[in-house]
Amino acid sequence: RFKSFENLLGYFTPYKKAFGILFFIMFIATILQAFLPFISKAVIDTGIRTQDVNFVYMVLAANIVLLLSITLSNVLRDWVLLHVTTRVNISLISDYLIKLMKLPVSFFENKLVGDILQRAYDHERIRHFIMNNSLGMIFSSVTFVIFSAILLIFNQTIFFIFLVGSILYVLWVFVFLKVRRKLDWEYFDILSKDRSYWVETIGNIQEIKINNYEDTKRWKWEGIQARLYKLNVKILNINNAQMLGSQFINSMQNMAVTFFCAIAVIHGDITFGIMISTQFIIGMLNGPVAQFVGFVQSAQYAKISFMRINEIHKLEDEDDMVSVSSNSMDLPKDKSLNVKNLSFAYSPNAPIVLKGIYLTIPEGKVTAIVGDSGCGKSTLLKLLLRLYLPSYGEICIGDMNINNVSLRQWRTQCGCVMQEGKVFNDTIQNNIVLNEEKVDYEALKRATEIANISKEIESMPQGYQTMIGEMGRGLSGGQKQRLLIARALYKNPDYLFLDEATNALDTINEQKIVSALNNVFKNRTVIVIAHRLSTIKKADQIVVMKGGMIVELGNHNGLMERRGHYYELIQSQYDLDPVEITSYTQG
C-alpha cells in the first residue's frame, strides 16, 4: 500500500466516519469563532457607547457560551484525532515491519540498524503531517476565507495591507526550503549513525569492558555528537534568519494595520469597536498564514520521509527474488539435494566466495562439511537454507529446482542451529516452539531431553515458563546452544542443518547430545559443519572445502587413507604424528 503518496491515503479510508465527525466538529468550532469579532464590536460600539450594562452582561454571557462550546469542540476533536492517529500509526508501522520481514538477509547485513530504526521514526513524521498539518490546513483555509470575508466587510484597505504582508511572509519562508531539504537528509544520516552506535555499544558491552574500550567508544560517540552539533548550528542559523525576516514582515504588517485603523477612527471612517475587532480578525488570520507556512515545511519533511521509507517498500521481496514459479510445488519423492556449478559472491563487485560447487547431499544420510576457517562452509549452508541467492548455478531437490518451492514451505522442512543462533526475550517454551499456537508437550519434552537440557529447565522455579533475558541473558553459552538444538529438533524437520552446533558444549554434554542425535539422524537428511572429530567421524559423507571449493569427498577412513587436505586438517587439529593419528582416528 506504500507505492505512492496517493496510496498512502488508503490508510485513512477505513476511518471515513471518524473523519466526517472530525470535519463537522472543526467546522462548527470555526463558525463559532467567527462570532467573536462581532461580539467585541457590539460590546464597544453598543454596550459602552450607550452605557447599557445589561447589554454588556448579555454579550458577556454569549461570549462565555461560545468559548465553552469552542473548548468542548476542541476536546472532542482531540479525542477523535487520538483514536484515528493511533490506529493509522499502528497500520503504518505494521506494514513497514511486514515489509522488513519479507526482505532477504543480505539487506540487513548491508544496512546499519540505526538506519532501519530511523526510517521507522519517519512514519511518525508522515502521520503527524497528514493528521495534524493537513487537517489543520483544511480548517485553517476555512477560517481564512471566513475571517477574510469579515475583514473585507469591515474595511477593504486593511484587508489589502494584510494580504500584501502575508504574501511577503510566505515568499520569505519559501526561500529556505531547498537548504532545509539538504539539512534534513544530513540530519537523518547522523541520527542513523547515532542510533546504530547505541545498539552496538549496548549489545557489545562485555567486549568493551574486557578490552578497556570504554574511552575510545565514548570518543567515537562524541565525534558523532560534534557532527550533530555543527549541523544543529546550521539549522539554528537557518531558523533564525527565517524567524527574523518573518517577524520583521509581521511587525511591519501589524504596524501598518494599527496605523491605518487609528487614522480611520480619527477621521470617523470606522468605529473604535471595528478597530478592536479588526485587530482580533488579523490575529485570527495570522494563524492560517502561519499554518500554511508550517504545512509547506511539514510537507517537504514528510515527502523526504516518504522517499526514505519508500526506498524500503520498493525493494523486491525475498520470495519474489528466488521464485521461478508463481505457484509453490510440493517436494518431490527424491529429497536429495543437488548443487550444480554453484558460485557465490556477496555483491557483484565482491570477490567470489564459492567457486563451481558440484555436490550431492543424499537423502536420509549425514553429510559433514569441514575445512579451514573462511573456506565457505557456513556460506554454503546459508545458500542451502536459501538465506542467500547463488550468483551462478542452481540447487535442486532431486531434479526439481529448489526455487519452485516457496521459502516458507522449504524452511518449514528445515531445522537449523547456526553459529550465530539467537534466543528471544521470552519464555523457554516459546523460544523452542516459536510459531506453534498449540504446543506439543511430548515433542517439547523429547526435544529438550535429546538436547540434554530438560533437567536444568525443570529444576528452574518456573520451568518451561522461565523468562530468558534479551539476547539470551541469564543463560550460559552451552545452555543457549542446547536450547537452539531443542528448537531445531522440536520442528521434527526432514532436513537438519547444524553449523558448529556443539562448539560451546563441554565434552560430557557433547558426547550425550551426539549420542542422542545419532538416533535422530536416522532417515533424515543432515548437513553438519564441525571441527571436532567426534562429530564428523561417523558421517556418511564428508565434504572437504578449501578456498571456496570442494577439494575432497568421501568417508572418514577413505579420506584418511588418501592423506590429502582432510588428513592434514586432522593432523594439525590434534598435533599428532602419522602413527599416532592413524591409531587415534580409528580408535
Q: pLDDT at residue 575 above 80?
A: no
What is the spatial distance between Cα 550 and Cα 368, in angstroms, rounded to a whole number?
Answer: 12
What is the spatial distance between Cα 43 and Cα 55, in angstroms, rounded to a whole number?
Answer: 8
Give pLDDT, residue 448: 92
Q: What percent of the chain has pLDDT over 90?
A: 20
What is the spatial distance between Cα 5 and Cα 310, in angstroms, rounded to a whole number?
Answer: 9
List of domains in the chain:
5-317 (1.20.1560.10), 416-492 (3.40.50.300)
How is residue 15 annotated by DSSP?
A: G
Cα–Cα separations (whole angstroms), residue 72 to 69, 77, 219, 329: 5, 9, 52, 61
Give pLDDT, residue 237: 92
pLDDT higher at 15 or 498: 498
Q: pLDDT at residue 583 above 90?
A: no
Q: Poorest-confidence range of 119-133, 223-237, 408-422? A: 119-133
Give pLDDT, residue 425: 85
What is the spatial distance between Cα 103 and Cα 311, in angstroms, rounded to a whole number?
Answer: 12
- pLDDT tens-digit series, residues 141-154: 877 888 888 888 87
Instruction: Assign 63 a pLDDT band (cuts: 50, 70, 90).
Output: confident
Cα–Cα separations (whole angstroms), residue 414 to 359, 381, 498: 19, 12, 11
Averaging pLDDT over each range in 26-30, 43-47, 221-225, 252-256, which range is the top one? 221-225
Give pLDDT, residue 390: 92
Instruction: Assign 283 a pLDDT band (cuts: 50, 70, 90).
Output: confident
Q: pLDDT at residue 576 above 60?
A: no
Q: Which residues of 151-185 are buried (b: 16+ CB within 10 A; e: fewer)?
A: beebbeebbebbeebbebbbebbeebeeebeebbe
Give pLDDT, residue 56: 72
- pLDDT tens-digit series, residues 307-328: 888 888 888 888 887 765 556 6
Q: Poorest-confidence range of 31-40, 125-134, 200-209, 396-405? A: 31-40
Q: pLDDT at residue 585 above 60?
A: no
Q: Poorest-confidence range of 54-63, 174-183, 369-378, 547-556? A: 54-63
Q: pLDDT at residue 136 above 80?
A: no
Instruction: Assign 340 a pLDDT band (cuts: 50, 70, 90).
Output: very high
What are 467's strand-pairing partners? Answer: 427
Give pLDDT, residue 550: 94
What is the spatial distance between Cα 397 and Cα 361, in angstroms, rounded to a whole number?
Answer: 10
Give the β-pairing of 495-499 and 525-529.
Answer: parallel
Largest CA distance in the chain: 124
Mean pLDDT of the region 453-457: 90
- pLDDT tens-digit series, residues 514-549: 777 777 778 889 999 987 777 788 889 999 999 999
Q: Poorest-confidence range of 101-115, 117-131, 320-334? A: 320-334
pTM for the full predicted model? 0.72
Mean pLDDT of the region 490-515: 81
Residue 557, C-alpha cell as written in the block: 577412513
Residue 37, C-alpha cell as written in the block: 469579532
Instruction: Assign 369 a pLDDT band (cuts: 50, 70, 90).
Output: very high
Q: pLDDT at residue 395 above 80?
A: yes
Alpha-carbon torsion angle 23, 26, 27, 32, nearest 10: 160
> Which is nearest to 115 in space by CA: 176, 52, 191?
191
Q: Poorest-confidence range of 410-414, 436-440, 443-447? A: 436-440
Name the strand (E) or helix (H) holding 361: strand 352-361
What is the spatial distance between Cα 299 and Cα 301, in angstroms, rounded to a whole number?
Answer: 5
Q: Poorest-confidence range of 38-47, 94-103, 116-125, 491-500? A: 38-47
What is the spatial distance between Cα 283 and Cα 287, in angstroms, rounded to a whole number?
Answer: 7
- pLDDT tens-digit series, residues 223-259: 999 999 999 999 899 989 988 988 888 888 888 888 8
Q: How many contiguous H segments (helices) and E segments (strands) does the chain have?
A: 25, 10
Write out 264-280 in H/E/C secondary structure. Answer: HHHHCCCCHHHHHHHHH
Give pLDDT, residue 323: 61
Mean pLDDT of the region 550-575: 87
Give pLDDT, residue 496: 92
> Which is nearest to 36 in space by CA: 227, 340, 278?
278
pLDDT higher at 146 or 361: 361
Q: pLDDT at residue 62 above 60?
A: yes
Instruction: Assign 3 a pLDDT band (cuts: 50, 70, 90).
Output: low
Give pLDDT, residue 373: 86
Averaging pLDDT over each range in 204-213, 224-233, 299-308, 432-441, which range is the top one? 224-233
pLDDT higher at 122 or 30: 122
Q: Which residues contact 465 (CB under 8 A, 6 or more apart)?
A: 427, 428, 429
Average pLDDT, the chain: 83
Contact 81, 22 (CB under 8 A): yes
Q: Which residues of 98-134 are buried (b: 16+ CB within 10 A; e: fewer)?
A: ebbeebbebeeeebbbbbbbbbeebbebbbbbbbebb
pLDDT higher at 355 or 478: 355
Q: pLDDT at residue 381 above 90?
A: yes
Give pLDDT, residue 554: 93
